[in-house]
Amino acid sequence: VNHVVVVGAGLAGVRTVEALRGRGFNGRITLIGEERHRPYDRPPLSKAVLLGDADTSFVEADLAAMEVDFWPGVSAKSLRSGVVETTEGELGYDGLVIATGAEPITLPGDGPQHVLRTLDDAHELRAMLVPGARVAIIGAGWIGAEVATAARRAGCVVTVVEAGPAPLATAVGAELGARTEPWYDGIDLRLETMVDSVDEGGVRLVGGEFVDAHVVVTGIGVRPAIGWLADADIDLHNGVVTDEYLRTSLPNTVAVGDCAAWWSRRWQTRLRVEHWDTALNAPEIAAASLLGEEVAYDPVPYFWSEQFGHMVQYAGHHPAGERLVYRGDPGGKWSAVWLTGDDALAAVLAVDRPRDLVQGRRIIDAGHRLDVERLVDPEVSLRDC
Ligand code: FAD
């Protein structure tokens, strides 16, 4: 491989560049990114940046020192064998990294609708979160909960509209999500409520009711940003399909980060994980694969969310679990673990119990079985269960 083109200058893209150089690749690297910014981390956007505690979150990576030809503000439009068609013309390659991430889903209607994906989105939204502003947030998932945290802190009048029966229901199930409902104190939380459209001045609900709002934020999820690959001869299915080495169906082409649906050996299913840890660590494997090595990507997925003063952390893959067991009661610090039929740990969700997360992740990795009787006692360390 002589010239690697990396499409997408988010965390996964820049980490792949670093990993290529780290592995001694000294050929040409071109990094193209739709945004005008150099690569930055997204998790702070809905936390420190939205709360006004930070203005930026740039990744520490010296693109010049790594001799990367960086094209900010340039989009890939389409792909054919050996050539990426960009908004600035054609770009030939013999190694390709697809790292275009994901893009927010929006709702119908012609009223102003904010999303929170980019640094620019975060700055725009932050300026609108002023005391007394009526803010309607659609979706009580991870992003919705974090935006609600910031809006309430800023003194806004906050309504959260959620289609499911509880916050976080889509992510972790209704039973567990219901444990976070009391955190919405002072917020008008409307569950099992569907939005019809976002109109001028607020949100129209199914059934006709209108929720007045100065600011509408839609946080109902993302989809992989793979529109530019629609006509390419590459396997796509809920993202760019890869094997366990992050290799796509095209030669010398890997996919990594939010846009990649990789084969997980550990869970024997295809996973597409929209979380920071994947964008941070999978690039090491993607770079190795591009340089001809065979190292499988087989992590225990991990992520965190900071909402309403709580640190929520998750590791594993709960669809592999059959039983949910709680440790600690909902008013305090607690966690929940998903067990498989033979009492192995499939996933753990920890609320202000970071040790359960760390130990749980190791136990999942090792495949140990647990003693359920000890497990329900939050005083007993997970690693002693
Ligand atoms: P992205 O970060 O989406 O980067 C992809 C880049 O590619 C983008 O800059 C995009 O503009 C560019 N691009 C797209 N299409 C093209 C094209 N055709 N041509 C050129 N460039 C293109 N995860 C956690 O684990 N914990 C958290 O607390 C957390 N908080 C988050 C908060 C927010 C507000 C957001 C938005 C995400 C959060 N995440 C969190 C998720 C995490 O940030 C993502 O998983 C991570 O950013 C994925 O990195 P990526 O490089 O794969 O994709």
The mean pLDDT of the chain is 97
For residue 367, the CA-to-ligand 1 centroid distance in Å is: 30
For the domain with range 106-218, which CATH number is right: 3.50.50.60, 3.30.420.40, 2.60.40.10, 3.40.50.300? 3.50.50.60
CATH class for the domain made up of 3-103+222-290 = alpha beta
Ligand 1 contacts CB of residue 33 (under 6 A): yes
Query: What is the percent of the chain with per-residue pLDDT over 90, rounded to a whole number?
Result: 98
Instruction: Render the burial of 70-104: b for 16+ CB within 10 Å, e for the rest.
Output: bbeebbbeebeeeebebeeeebebebbbbbbbbbb
- Which of 40, 276, 306 to mutate to test ligand 1, by most ligand atoms within 8 A of the CB atom? 276
According to the model, what pLDDT value does residue 24 have?
Answer: 97
For residue 214, the CA-to-ligand 1 centroid distance in Å is: 27
Position 142 pLDDT exceeds 90? yes
Domain 3-103+222-290 and domain 309-384 have a common topology: no
ipTM of predicted complex = 0.99
Rounded Cα distance, 240 and 227, in Å: 11
Closest Cα to atom 9, ligand 1: which residue? 10
According to the model, what pLDDT value does residue 226 have?
Answer: 98
Q: Which CATH superfamily is domain 309-384 in?
A: FAD/NAD-linked reductase, C-terminal dimerisation domain (3.30.390.30)
CA 218 vs CA 141, 309, 323: distances in Å:
11, 22, 32
CA 271 vs CA 242, 256, 354: distances in Å:
10, 12, 24
The first and second tokens of residue 323, run together, are 């039983």
pLDDT, tens digit, 9 for 90 and up, residues 280-307: 999 999 999 999 999 999 999 999 999 9
- Which of 100, 168, 285 to mutate to test ligand 1, by most ligand atoms within 8 A of the CB atom? 100
Rounded Cα distance, 33 and 309, in Å: 34
According to the model, what pLDDT value does residue 321 have?
Answer: 84
- The region that residue 236 occupies, defined by phi over 0 for left and psi between -120 and 50 for alpha, beta otherwise, is beta
Q: What number is the average pLDDT over the span 67-83?
A: 97
Ligand 1 contacts CB of residue 100 (under 6 A): yes
Residue 359 neighbours by CB under 8 Å, 6+ apart: 381, 382, 383
According to the model, what pLDDT value does residue 320 have?
Answer: 83
The ligand 1 atom nearest the CA atom of 257: 52
For residue 140, the CA-to-ligand 1 centroid distance in Å is: 19
pLDDT, tens digit, 9 for 90 and up, residues 190-222: 999 999 999 999 999 999 999 999 999 999 999
pLDDT, tens digit, 9 for 90 and up, residues 163-198: 999 999 999 999 999 999 999 999 999 999 999 999
- Which of 42, 97, 217, 280 to mutate to test ligand 1, by most ligand atoms within 8 A of the CB atom? 42
Rounded Cα distance, 168 and 117, in Å: 19
Rounded Cα distance, 71 and 224, in Å: 21
Domain chopping of the chain, boundaries: 3-103+222-290, 106-218, 309-384
